[in-house]
Amino acid sequence: MTAVLEISGLAKTYRSRKGVRRALDGFDMVVEAGQVHGFLGPNGSGKTTTLRTLLGLIKPNGGRMAVLGREVPRHLPEVAGQIGAIVESPQFFPHFTARDTLSLLADAGGVDRHRVVEVLELVGLRDRAGDRVKTYSLGMKQRLAVASALLKNPRLLILDEPANGLDPGGIREMRTLMRNLAESGMTVVLSSHILGEIQLICDSVTIISAGRRVAAGSVADVLAQHKSSSVRVRVEAGVDLLAVAQALRTAGAPTVELEQDYLMVSGVDRPAWITWALAQHNVWVSELAPVEVDLESVFLQLTGTAPVAGENRQVDQTAAAPAALQGGWGQ
Amino acid sequence: MSLYKAETRRLVKRRFTRWLVIGSLFALAAVAVGTAVTNSKVGPEQIAAAQAEAERYYQESVRYAEQDRLRCEAAKGTPEAGQYPADCGQMYTPSREDYGYQGYMTPTFDFREEFGNMVVTLAAILALAAFVIGASYVGAEWSTGGMMNLLLWRPKRLQVLTTKLLALLVSLAVLTVLTAVAWTGAFALIANLRGSLDSMTSGAWQSFALMELRALGLVLAAGAIGFGIASLGRHTALALGAVVGLLVVFQFGLVTVLSMAEVKFAEAWLLPIWVMAWMSKTVTIEDFNSCNYSADGCRPDQLTLTWPMAGGAMVVAVVLVVGTALWTMRSRDIT
Ligand SMILES: Nc1ncnc2c1ncn2[C@@H]1O[C@H](COP(=O)(O)OP(=O)(O)OP(=O)(O)O)[C@@H](O)[C@H]1O
Ligand SMILES: [Mg+2]
């Protein structure tokens, strides 16, 4: 497979009167052709900054980037026609209609105006296309933004939080749309905070935290790498759970967590071993259910953003990347 | 080319642009109508009417003078006598020459005499409109995120900004040329109906044409400067209005301070003086604090501003503002 998007060692420092802020600190990312790629990270971790840099809107302080095999920002004008993008709820001139907005973009980019009707239909704005953007709801503006990104019929589609403000039906439509686009050969990069959504539609993900990559790869790989699977264990009523947990620990189970009326056991190779170990103590298992790890818990673990009772986590309190994960160009 | 067309379309589609153009044309139309209404043709009838009017005023004034003289005679020997001259015959009596009929004519529109002022009016109104249109056009693009959207399509920033500027200037030029033609036509018509075109020579026509050309230059410069300032500041027209207001206040403040400090030719710091110099070819400022003795008394020092000076200043301002806007655009972070 070929990489449609490669980023290596990207660095960006914002300077303002208040001082400097390292938004990106040696960030790497690779997206293969034809994939739907999830770009995840806590608030302020640098997702939008990465996408802006990639699209030539801001200047990086270091690092290399390539899109569709061309180095950017130097060769951006050559590939810009093949990148459709929305960056963080784009704004439109409020007094124009959706149709005017898109047809002006189409004119500026040399795209046939027929395409305007097509994309408006695609995002469900056909009947409201003659209304001024000012009168649109949040979700409708978001749909218009997606329409503007699709207008060029791009090879690479970059969407920064496209689901922002969409209704449940809209989110599902977006999901189908992404899949269809990917099947037609388009590569989609999707930043989102709705991890259930990402897990459903993405082939691969990159997780960023504090301006660095903390995980990357196919969804299955990331899940497998980062949390040993757990098993939920219930025993017959009336048995002392505390004693059972103790017994399992002495028998060699790495982690046993005591919950309300069951145990969570993780780090065990074969779940069947648990039945055996408990049978030794004359305790009979009534339920043994492997618990699927989900992207959300992996995300929270990797980025160190899991809520802690009694604390108000501040936006910049995130986990920094372990050094081993810092990859090089083209990795 | 496609970008240029799209930008022209965007500019013309904006309601703000449309309203401002309509408003300016309305103001101009009001000036033309006002001129037409207050002027009238000179013929034997008008002269006769004016003569009759002058005669009436003369007679009235003779009557008043006579009454005054009688009062003067009556006051002789009373305490009120001090208010009158000793010899009542010395008192003012009006003469017919003071009541020439020319002063009682309704005004007439002499094209050669008056069209120059009309071109200045045209230039001032259109230049103001051009400034605001240019500023709001690009300012709104920046503040609503339209510029960012556009740059996702056309990453060559300088090309985008210069194309926008070009679209603006060409549209302004078309507007100005059409309006100037209509303006000239309207006043030629007014002169025909309510005044005269008699003194117009081909040289005079040519001079008005050149004046209109300078008006075009002024309009384009104003548009470019508005565009440049708004692009630099990335603000909306409203904020820009505040800046302009501040500048005006600052300008008058500066002139007040300078003239209090008795700096020579303080008026030269006023922008309108330079606009006048550009449009009417020369403006002379006099310093009444100075005195150069000559045969006929005191002659004040003079400073003459000429149109090449004003034109040079204009070019420098445009290059400075637009150049800075382009230079900033080249490398700034667009967030
Ligand atoms: N224009 C700016 N000037 C200064 N700092 C900025 C600017 N834009 C972003 N930052 C900072 O850079 C960091 C990364 O911001 P970025 O917008 O890339 O985050 P993000 O991952 O998109 O977050 P979110 O999930 O909230 O959209 C943040 O700490 C932010 O405060
Ligand atoms: Mg963001």
Residue range A122-165, pLDDT digits in tens: 888 999 999 999 999 888 888 899 999 999 999 999 999 888 88
Nearest to B331 among A59, A77, A90 (CB): A59
Residues B134 and B208 in one domain: yes
Residue B41 is predicted with a pLDDT of 82
* DSSP-derived 3-state class of residue A165: coil
Position A325 confidence tier, pLDDT thresholds 50, 70, 90: very low
Selection from A213, A214, A191, A215 nearest residue A202 by Cα: A191
With respect to residue B85, please indicate whether it lies within any of the assigned structural domains: yes
Q: Which residues of A touch B155 (CB under 8 A)?
A: 55-56, 73, 76-77, 80
DSSP single-letter state for residue B235: -
Residues B82 and B125 in one domain: no
Residues B273 and B311 in one domain: yes
- Which of A172-176, B96-100, B155-159 shows the lowest per-residue confidence on average (mean pLDDT)? B96-100
Selection from A148, A173, A151, A176 nearest residue A86 by Cα: A148
Q: Flag whether pLDDT at B236 surpasses 70.
A: no
Distance CA B13, CA B10 (A): 5
3-state secondary structure B138-206: HHHHHHHCHHHHHHHHCCCHHHHHHHHHHHHHHHHHHHHHHHHHHHHHHHHHHHHHHEECCCCCHHHHH
What's the whole-number average pLDDT of chain B?
88
Give CATH superfamily name and number for A3-225+319-326.
P-loop containing nucleotide triphosphate hydrolases (3.40.50.300)
Q: Flag whether pLDDT at B243 surpasses 80.
A: no
Selection from A51, A90, A91 nearest residue A73 by Cα: A51
With respect to residue B90, please indicate whether it lies within any of the assigned structural domains: yes
Q: Flag whether pLDDT at B155 surpasses 80.
A: yes
Chain B touched by A94 (CB under 8 Å): yes
* DSSP-derived 3-state class of residue A194: coil
Residues B167 and B286 in one domain: yes
With respect to residue B7, please indicate whether it lies within any of the assigned structural domains: yes
Q: Flag whether pLDDT at A330 surpasses 50.
A: no
With respect to residue B48, please indicate whether it lies within any of the assigned structural domains: yes
**Cβ–Cβ pairs < 8 A, chains A and B:** 80
Instruction: Please choose from A12, A14, A194, A213 the residue to mutate so as to test ligand 1's pocket, defined by most ligand atoms within 8 A of CB.
Output: A14
Residue B220 is predicted with a pLDDT of 97
Residues B256 and B164 in one domain: yes
- In a 13 Å sphere around the CA of B106, the CA atoms on its Cβ side amount to 16
Number of domains in chain B: 2
Selection from B57, B156, B109, B270 nearest residue A75 by Cα: B156
Chain B touched by A83 (CB under 8 Å): yes
Q: Is A92 close to B146, i.e. CB distance below 8 A?
A: yes
**Burial (Cβ within 10 Å: 0-12, 13-18, ≥19) of residue B153:** buried
Q: Flag whether pLDDT at A85 surpasses 90.
A: yes
Residues B84 and B208 in one domain: no
Residue B312 is predicted with a pLDDT of 96
Structure tokens that stand for B99 in this block: 């009541």
Q: Where in chain A is the domain with CATH 3.30.70.100?
A: 231-292
- Which of A55-64, A204-213, A299-308, B155-164 shows the lowest per-residue confidence on average (mean pLDDT)? A299-308
Q: Which residues of A touch B13 (CB under 8 A)?
A: 96, 100, 104
Residues B63 and B174 in one domain: no
Q: Where in chain A is the domain with CATH 3.40.50.300?
A: 3-225+319-326
Chain A touched by B12 (CB under 8 Å): no
Rounded distance from Cα A56 to ligand 1 centre (Å): 16
Q: Note the ipTM here.
A: 0.80
Residues with beta carbon inside 6 Å of ligand 1? A 14, 16, 21, 23, 41, 43-49; B 335
Residue A328 is predicted with a pLDDT of 40
Residues B85 and B133 in one domain: no
Q: Flag whether pLDDT at A259 surpasses 90.
A: no
Residues B96 and B190 in one domain: no
CATH class of A231-292: alpha beta
Distance (Å) from the alpha carbon of A178 to chain B's nearest alpha carbon: 20
Portion of chain B with pLDDT greater than 90, in percent = 46
In this predicted model, what pLDDT tens digit does every residue of B36-70 receive, in sequence order? 998 888 888 888 888 888 889 889 988 888 888 88
Tell me which of B53, B84, B104 is where a domain ends: B104
Distance (Å) from the alpha carbon of B302 to chain A's nearest alpha carbon: 49
Q: Which ligand is nearest to the CA of A52?
A: 1
Which domain does B66 fall in, by range?
44-104
User: Which residues 104-143 of chain A have a CB within 8 Å of chain B?
Assistant: 104-105, 107-110
The neighbouring-strand residues paired with A12 are A24
Selection from A30, A26, A23, A24 nearest residue A9 by Cα: A26
With respect to residue B335, please indicate whether it lies within any of the assigned structural domains: no
Structure tokens that stand for A282 in this block: 């004359």
Residues B87 and B178 in one domain: no
Q: Do the Cβ atoms of A293 and A227 come closer than 8 Å?
A: yes
Chain A touched by B2 (CB under 8 Å): yes
Residue in this structure with the two tokens 């309190």, named with its chain if needed: A317
Residues B184 and B152 in one domain: yes
Residues B295 and B172 in one domain: yes
Chain A touched by B244 (CB under 8 Å): no
**Which of B153, B234, B328, B329 is most worth mutating to test chain A (most A CB atoms within 10 A of its CB)?**
B153
In this predicted model, what pLDDT tens digit does every residue of A186-222 receive, in sequence order? 999 999 888 888 888 899 999 999 999 999 999 888 8
